[in-house]
Chains A and B, each alone.
Chain A
Amino acid sequence: MTHVMLEGLTRRFDDVIAVNNLNLEVESGELIAFLGPSGCGKTTTLRMITGLLLPSEGDVQFDGKSMIAVPTEKRGAVMVFQKHLLFPTMDVARNVGFGLKMAGISKKEIDRRVSEMLELVHLPGFETRRPHELSGGQQQRIALARALIVRPNVLLLDEPLANLDANLRLEMRELIRTIQREMNITSIFVTHDQEEAVMLADRIALMFDGVLQQFDVPKAFYERPNSAEVAHFFRNDNFLAGTRHGDCVETGLGSLAILPDHVTQPDGKVVVTVRPEDIYLAPTSDENLIHVKVLAQVYMGTYKQVQLDVDGNKWLAHGPADLDIREGDTIPIQLPKTHIWLLPPVNGK
């Protein structure tokens, strides 16, 4: 159980700033996801936490102690990589027991803890198998066991599920979550898959271009994104420009009522957003009723996805699978005020 603090963490590669002034605090035993598109600085941050990469500026602290001068092998920050999982020259037992052997633990103790750890990852009796005899999922579980056996201060997982197929991914996700809770290890994992981050993490740190955009609980990214970019990353592209005056927003389609205590944007120019699943395609009252044109509709099995023209902006909305509308129709939709969220204006507009 280690409290991790990143203070003004910055890393430059020549002229490129890979991570820019990152400030973040991970509570003891918490599971955090670094989320963002490729090249946003997630892995660079992870490497700075392990010490495999030194920051250009800033500090990494474990339990209030700076780690900058502490070499990787003494930090107790163990990394599980996406590829090159197991040492090919060793069998499973020697792979899992590697960290203990390096620490000079007796063979008897190593053997005992290796079989304990193999039980934990549901692979008992695999001691003598060679890495090439294992499936991708089994290799990943062994890699996880090898990291956990040393009881790390911080467990770092770099896209641990990226190479697995859908079923295995689900299984592995459960396993990581269960073991992490059981062992109460502060853990940070990197992913570009927002669903994975939402399902696994206690909190998500969303990064774009080396800059932390939002650090919050998963729900907040859906309900309270702090920019249009964040909303877009979480598959919400429903934006409508407006001006807030107290408890309503004036838009090109008329005035929309909002809950003043629910939103955080001050009076003035704002961007109105409602998630596709929160739009009522079959209105229940006259409140926030607007008329929009249906551009397209796709049957998705359990629901219908409808593309709408909202004052020149393309919006998506989810309705019941049996919703009877036609492309080209102008239909009334309701934007419930409990689900209206206001974003800061894009480029001041």
Chain B
Amino acid sequence: MNRLKLMEKLRVPMMLFPAIAIIVVLFGGGMISGVGQSVGYFPVIGLNDFTLDYYRDVLTDDGFMTSLWLTFRLAFLSTLFASVLAVAFALVLRHAFRGSRLLTLIYQVPIPIPHLVVATGIVLLVSQSGLLSRGSVALGLTQTPRDFPVMVFDPAGVAIQLTFLWKEVPFIGVVVLAVLKSVGPQYEEIARTLGANSWQRFRYVLFPLMLPGILSTSIIVFAFVFANYEIPLLLGVRHPTTLPVMAFRNYQDPDLALRPQAMAISMILAVVAIILLVAYKRLAKYAVES
């Protein structure tokens, strides 16, 4: 009897064991090793003493705050623009019209395409030797390709933003569109008969209905962009660069002495991301409830 009870109690933990094991061993192991290196425990190169010097070095570095701001700005603007565009597309695509199904399909194409492929496409499109630049010369809008505005490897990170937008707009949009379609037109029709104009219907009826969907997807987009290194690495300038790129470069450097700094940056990045996400979630909860 006792054995049966014990088995019953252990059933759920046993079933979860494979997943928990992977998280603990791979993720937890990496985390512990990363935290250890960031506080000076890296026996491979003879570092055995606990220290916060690497955090101090990173935080007092001139470039750090610039990179943190750039990382935040990229993540914030990408999330904001992607959310606004996703809502706009969803508002159009929720209606059935001739070709709406095809348009919805095309709209969702970016979702399975890898970010690296999109980045390459964006370079071919908006760089000074790209399609748009050549088209602009052909139309006489610019004299030479060099007159075309710099959008790739630029300090403002236009190509980076465009890559994220192309990928993330459909991601948020698919969820928002599903919400709008499941809600149907009746709430809007009721509001209309009660005297609400199109802006009021959006502001007071549709937007509050979409808000939970927008918030739950945009939080994922924000976290993803904030921690993404490959797109800023491929399309951004060398200085200033984002924190994930900074950490990645230090990590890849043949000089292993830079590794603890790379880990310190990663840990700071993780903590800042967690703080921002918690704040965002609280704000989102408040927005939805009010």
- Residues of chain A having any CB pair with chain B under 8 Å: 50, 52, 72-79, 81, 83-84, 87-90, 98-99, 101-103, 146-147, 150, 156
Contact = CB atoms under 8 A, between A and B. Distances in A.
18 contacts: A50-B193, A72-B193, A73-B195, A73-B197, A75-B193, A79-B189, A79-B193, A84-B190, A87-B190, A87-B204, A87-B208, A89-B209, A98-B191, A99-B194, A102-B194, A102-B195, A102-B204, A150-B194
B28 interface: no
A81 B208 contact: no
Interface of B is mostly: helix
B195 A84 contact: no
Given A98-B204, A102-B200, A87 B187 contact: yes
A90 B186 CA distance: 16
Contact of A81 (B186, B195, B200, B205): B186
A48 to B, nearest CB: 13
Interface string B229-245: 00000000000000000
Interface in B9-63: none
A89 B195 CA distance: 18
B192 interface: yes
Nearest to B183: A84
A129 to B, nearest CB: 15
Given A83-B186, A84-B184, A98-B204, A77 B193 contact: yes
A147 B194 contact: yes
A75 B184 CA distance: 23
Nearest to A79: B193
A83 B190 CA distance: 11
Interface in B196-223: 196-197, 200, 204-205, 208-209, 211
Size bin of chain B's contact surface: 10 to 19
Nearest to A101: B204
Contacts of B205: 87
A99 B205 CA distance: 12
B192 A52 contact: yes
A52 B189 contact: yes
Given A72-B193, A79-B190, A89-B209, 4 more contacts: A52-B193, A87-B204, A89-B208, A89-B211
Contacts of B184: 84
Given A87-B205, A89-B208, A89-B209, A99 B195 contact: yes
Closest 7 CB pairs of A and B: A89-B208, A99-B194, A84-B186, A79-B193, A102-B196, A72-B192, A102-B195
Contacts of A88: 209
A150 B192 contact: no
Contacts of A52: 189, 192-193
A265 B196 CA distance: 51
Contact of A73 (B186, B196, B204, B209): B196
